[in-house]
Structure 1
């Protein structure tokens, strides 16, 4: 009998899978994933369900990762935290604060699990996951080996990693080790954090501010289904940035280290006149244009139709191409927005 996935995806999309297995320890995760792979069954490794859009019933097995455990080792200048893949990311940030281990506070309230964090190289308010990544442990499905990659081997980029490229569908992340310096250096040069004095601010104040801003801007998925930011902030050349800036004085962009600019996708969507529009039950949130929401009975196809309309409209107006952040899942695996 098909099993509902509605409660397992934060968009609240009404899709099903053939079978569901919840794993609660690393050995179960490895054993189950390897068995399904060797049996050539369609398999989806699912964490918090906050970065996936189901467009169809999944014709295979969903492996719900609920592995738990955090260990801390410290040396003179650093804390090393080894975290199981199923731990909740925001709860990890809160845990670190209680232990006076700082650095992750800018990434508070990012939904999802720790195991998903390196795949997407999650980030917010000037800090990305790779800043503190020491080592990733993963099961390589085609060899059956448990492999460890250091930061450089993960090939992190903006919302990118080797796990989305060469190792896509071949790696099941089992645990993550973070390296956090004991000497904390606040990052307060981004958006709403800029009013803080870096010499005087506390990690708790940064955490509180980030939580306040995110809660005021992003709808609660329990009320309005969503996956948070639906599009990546596009990166453009200096020439393209200045060309756009000449036409749109209030364009929001942030200079990058490689002489490119990261544009605010939400600004582009809003100024393309798309805030609040809907296709069926899928809509652009009326307060935050970067978020697509489920008004109640949205389908994955409607979400994709809306995303495609946004991409085309923004390109027609600004000649900038938006890319979706979440994984779009079809009946047997990941697909492109169509």
Structure 2
């Protein structure tokens, strides 16, 4: 039976009490050689802000705590190399404090710099891929260090190569390029009211105020942020839905597609406050599932399935979880995790 030293409770913001066979805190690159000798299932974790442990993990969990930020400058940009264990929001604050704008729309996104490329984090019209120049990773299979130019990272909407063919890579560092020719990105929500003369600090403050008003603090109410992705549908499908529900928010996506607001769909399906055991749909932001206290993985999974079913029945749109689900031996998905419960 795993001891408390192998508890995953400190490493997931949902506050679920799961265990692993082994937990290793990675603070120095010199540890990589020893870790490479592990032959069983392995999971790399930053701050656990986008994870749902659906079962005890039968393997080694490596917690990335590599730290350090290096900055170089050219005539037209700042170039930052950031170690994977650095806290993302503190990085945003560091950039603003040193007069390097660009990341302000991504303020208060929980997690580490190393997690940012995996999920291609994004908010308020800006994605990580906009500034990524390179990702440095360690391949657990070969023991080699790999440098990925942004073009090879297969960035998509909350997606990258690190969620697919390169799952066995630990992100050691990221390199960002912040152009000095800065312009505010104000196309989403309350940012538009700031006007084109907005400063980076004003954008930062508005993003922080908006997120704090809508999203619960994981330190106070366990959650993993937005649980579902905003679904993409054809323009024709969106037009048909807006005829029936004129208030439906629609956002641009790639050619021929648009994004719908998943939180709005969940809210209109009457699901705010809905509970399954200790898990609930948040009262203020329907896109967030929360641990009201004592929730189990089963509670969260069954609530997620209920939300998906109700939205599908009402709108004919199938929601896909944004949160990464981790089963006993590694990455899983909602239907597979549910099947193990039955």
| SS class of match (1:293) | strand
Deviation at 1:51, TM superposition (A): 0.8
Give deviations 1:266-300, integer Å, cap 9, x for gaps: 00000111111011001000111000000101011
- Unaligned residue ranges in structure 1 (runs of 5+): none
1:221 to 218, 223, 226: 218
What is the CA-CA distance between 1:27 and the residue it aligns to? 3.2
1:273 matched residue in structure 2:
270
Cα deviation code 1:297-323 (max 9, x no counterpart)? 101111011111111111111111111
Distance in structure 2 (CA, Å) of the matches to 1:81 and 1:188: 24
Q: Does 1:10 align with 2:13?
A: yes
CA deviation digits over 1:157-186, x for unaligned, max 9? 100111112222x21111100000011111
Unpaired runs of at least 5, structure 2: none
Aligned residue for 1:273, secondary structure, equals coil
C-alpha separation in 2, matches of 1:279 and 1:247: 30
Note the 1:155-234 alignment, pairs <5 A: 155-168=154-167, 170-198=168-196, 200-234=197-231
Pairing partner for 1:295 from 288, 292, 297: 292
SS in structure 2 of the partner of residue 160 of structure 1: coil
Kindly state the Cα deviation for residue 230 of structure 1 after the two structures are TM-superposed.
0.5
Q: Which residue of 1 aligns with 2:308?
A: 311
CA distance in 2, matches of 1:335, 1:179: 33
Question: How far has the Cα of 1:259 moved from its partner?
Answer: 2.8
> How far apart are residue 217 of structure 1 and its match?
0.3
Normalised to the residue count of structure 2, the TM-score between the two structures is: 0.95
Aligned equivalents of 1:94 and 1:162: distance in 2? 28
Alignment deviations for residues 36-69 of structure 1 (CA, whole Å, 9 cap, x no partner): 2xxx212111101101111222122111111100
Mean alpha-carbon deviation: is it higher for 179-188 or for 51-60?
51-60
Q: 1:76 corresponds to which residue?
A: 75
Residue 336 of structure 2 is aligned to residue 333 of structure 1:
no
Q: Secondary structure at the match of 1:268?
A: helix
Indicate the residue corresponding to 2:249 in structure 1: 252
How big is each residue's C-alpha offset from its partner over 1:311-337, in whole Å with a ceiling of 9 and x where there is no partner? Answer: 111111111111111111112212111
Q: TM-score, normalised by structure 1?
A: 0.96
Instruction: Say whether the 8 Å CA contact 2:222–2:292 is kept in structure 1.
Output: yes
SS in 2 for 1:71: strand
Maintained 8 Å contact 2:33/2:143:
no
Q: Corresponding residue for 1:31? A: 33
Structure 2 SS opposite 1:166: coil
Provide the rounded CA distance (Å) in 2 between the counterparts of 1:189 and 1:126: 7
